[in-house]
Amino acid sequence: MSDMIALGNAGAAIRKANDEGRAALVAYLPAGYPTYDGGVDALKALVDGGADVIEIGLPYSDPVMDGVTVQRATEKARANGLRTKDVLRTVEAVAATGIPTLVMTYWNPIERYGAHAFARDLAAAGGAGLITPDLIPDEDAEWNAAADKENLDKVYLVSPSSTDKRIALTTQACRGFVYATAVMGVTGAREVTSELAPVLVARTKATTDLPVGVGLGVSNADQAAQIASYADAVIVGSAFVKVLEAGAGPAGVRSLTESLAEGVRREPRTTAAR
C-alpha cells in the first residue's frame, strides 16, 4: 500500500496541518441533532470554525460506548425519525464544503444496510470513510473489501489497554489515520486529559507512519493545545454536543471550534513530533 493510498483523504488533511506546523482539529457531531436541518447547520459551523476533518455520528439504538451527552443527542435524533439515508444526505451536504467527512458508527447499522451497499452510497455522497469503534480488524473482512473497492478510509481504535501486538495489527489495517482513545471508558468531555495518552501515542507511532489522533475528553483550547504537542490530530465531540444541548446553536458551535482551532495552533510543532 503506497503512502498516499494509506493516508486517504482524512490522513492527507491531517498531514497538511502537520506540515503547517500544527496538529489538525477533528470535530464530531451526530447527524440529526437537534433536528435534521439543525444538525447540518451545526456540522457546517464546525467547518466554518476551522475544523480540518469532520466526523458525523450515525445514531444507533444501543450506543454502549457513548457517554450520556452523546446518547441523549442520538436518542433525540432517532426519535425525530432520522434514518441511515438521512445520515448519508448529511454527509453529502457537509462533504460539499470540501472538508474530508467521515461517518462514525457502530457496526450493526452497516451490517443491516449491507457493507458493500453502504460503502457505495457513502462514496457517492462524497464521504471520506468510516470510523468503527466496535469493529476490530480481525472481523472486518467484509468492510475491508467494500472500503477498498470504494477507496474509503478505514479508521480503527487503539486504547491504553491494547497490547503492542494488537496496536500493530490495528494500525496495519487502518487507512486515513489511527484513532487513539485517550482514556478508558465511555466518551465525554473531561476536566483533565488522560496521562496515558502520550504513552499510547508513542506506542502507536512505533508501529505506523499514519497520523495518530487523540480523542475522548477534550473540551477546551488549553486541553487541545496540550494534546497537540504530541498528537497529529485532536479529536473533539461531546463538547460540541453540549453546546447544542445548551441551546447555543450553530453560532455556539462555531465559537467553540474557533477556540479549539486556536488551541491546536498555540504550540509550534516540528516534524519530530510525528
Phi, psi of 193 (to 5 degrees): -85, 165
267 is catalytic: no
Helices (H), 20-52: 36-49
Q: How far is Cα of residue 266 from the mean position of the Cα atoms in its chain?
A: 21
Closest CA to 183 of 74, 18, 65, 274: 65
C-alpha cell at 14: 491531517
CA 194 to each of CA 43, 183, 215: distance values in angstroms, whole numbers, following the listed order: 27, 6, 10
150 is catalytic: no
Catalytic, out of 3, 20, 55, 164: 55
Burial class of residue 168 in the structure, from the number of CB atoms within 10 Å of its CB (0-12 exposed, 13-18 middle, 19+ buried):
middle
Give the contacts of 172 (CB within 8 A, at least 6 positions apart): 137, 207, 208
Spell out a b/e string for 9-37, using b for 16 or more CB atoms within 10 Å of the CB, else e: bbbbbbbebbeeebbbbbbbbbbbbbebe
**Total count of residues recorded for the chain:** 274
C-alpha cell at 144: 475491508
Catalytic, out of 20, 37, 52, 66: 66
Contact 52, 101 (CB under 8 A): no
Spell out a b/e string for 187-212, using b for 16 or more CB atoms within 10 Å of the CB, else e: bbbbeebbebbbebbebbbebbebbb
Residues with catalytic function: 55, 66
